[in-house]
Structure 1
Amino acid sequence: MKKIHINNDDNYATPPNLYEELNKRFNFDFDPCPYNEGEIINDGLKIEWGNSNFINPPYSQKLKEEFVKKGVEEMKKGKVCVFLIPVSTSTKLFHEWIKPNATEIEFLKGRIKFGKLDENGNFYIPLNAKGKEQSGTKDSMIVVFDGRS
């Protein structure tokens, strides 16, 4: 069996072109878990979210689940929550929280190349050991919880 390197770093930035495409549709006014290399100032799980939220949560199981559950709570307050998360359709999270509450689920073609931001705020994709840009290790989906309707 081939050994797969899994990077447990939860801190990756969304590719700007993907964010902008979604922002055109949803006009985001808040990000409860923005990319941040330093100390986290606001815990997105403990604060009120905006009216239209973009959420690329940490992919560790516990934090991802907590953010999805918070997104459902915020949707019930009449807000829009747009998640960029890994595809995991066999999980309890998917069947008990995502599928029954989502107003839209879109499976993205190909693997997203998440990145980092340099000291000037420029997006870049880290290179793997062979000098090639790293792709994500999982497929991704956009999950929308739209509480406006």
Structure 2
Amino acid sequence: MRKIHINNDDNYATPPYFYKELDKRFNFDFDPCPYCEGEVVDGLSIEWGNSNFVNPPYSRKLKEAFVKKGVEEMRKGKLCVFLIPVSTSTELFHDWIKPNATEIDFIRGRIKFGKLDEDGNFYLPLNKHGKTQSGTKDSMVVVFDGRSATL
């Protein structure tokens, strides 16, 4: 049996091409989970913008907390677009995502999340064999759009 190494580091950046495609459509004005090494931004305790891009940490407790906060922000009339791992058998999916999402898109293939260098340039870390590898999970874009509820 092949052992798969899973890096549980919550600090990975969204590939710029992927973010740009979503930003063209949704015109984001805030990111409560910005990628930053060493610096902590507590997106759970601050007010979010009107159009939010959210790629939360993938550890279970933090991911759940951000999804629940996104639903709260949606109920205030805001747009929250999440990039999260596919986990359709979970309570989070059935109790929070499915009943509140205005759109769910499953991403074909696996996204290669990366890191940012000290100049802010995106790069893909190499594994021990000198190759980049895709994420260990499938991804989905989940949209909570509360804008029409406030019109």
With the shorter chain as reference, the TM-score category is over 0.9
- TM norm structure 1: 0.97
| Stretches of 4+ aligned residues off by more than 4 angstroms | none
The match for 1:93 is 92
- Distance in 1, matches of 2:121 and 2:42, equals 24
What aligned pairs does 1:19-34 form with structure 2 within 5 A after superposition? 19-34=19-34
User: Once the 2 structures are TM-superposed, how far is the Cα of residue 39 of structure 1 from its aligned partner?
Assistant: 2.1
The match for 2:107 is 108
- Distance in 2, matches of 1:125 and 1:135, equals 9
SS at match of 2:14: coil
User: Once the 2 structures are TM-superposed, how far is the Cα of residue 134 of structure 1 from its aligned partner?
Assistant: 2.0
SS at match of 1:131: coil
The match for 1:7 is 7
Task: Give per-residue Cα distances to partners, 1:88-144, cap 9 Å, x unaligned.
Answer: 000000000000000000000100000000011100000111111121000000000
Q: CA RMSD in A?
A: 0.7
User: Once the 2 structures are TM-superposed, how far is the Cα of residue 4 of structure 1 from its aligned partner?
Assistant: 1.4
User: Once the 2 structures are TM-superposed, how far is the Cα of residue 2 of structure 1 from its aligned partner?
Assistant: 2.4
Letter in structure 2 aligned against 1:141: M
Letter in structure 1 aligned against 2:65: E
1:129 aligns with 2:128: yes
- Distance in 1, matches of 2:79 and 2:115, equals 26
SS at match of 1:33: coil
- Distance in 1, matches of 2:118 and 2:36, equals 11
- Counting matched residue pairs gives 148
- TM norm structure 2: 0.96
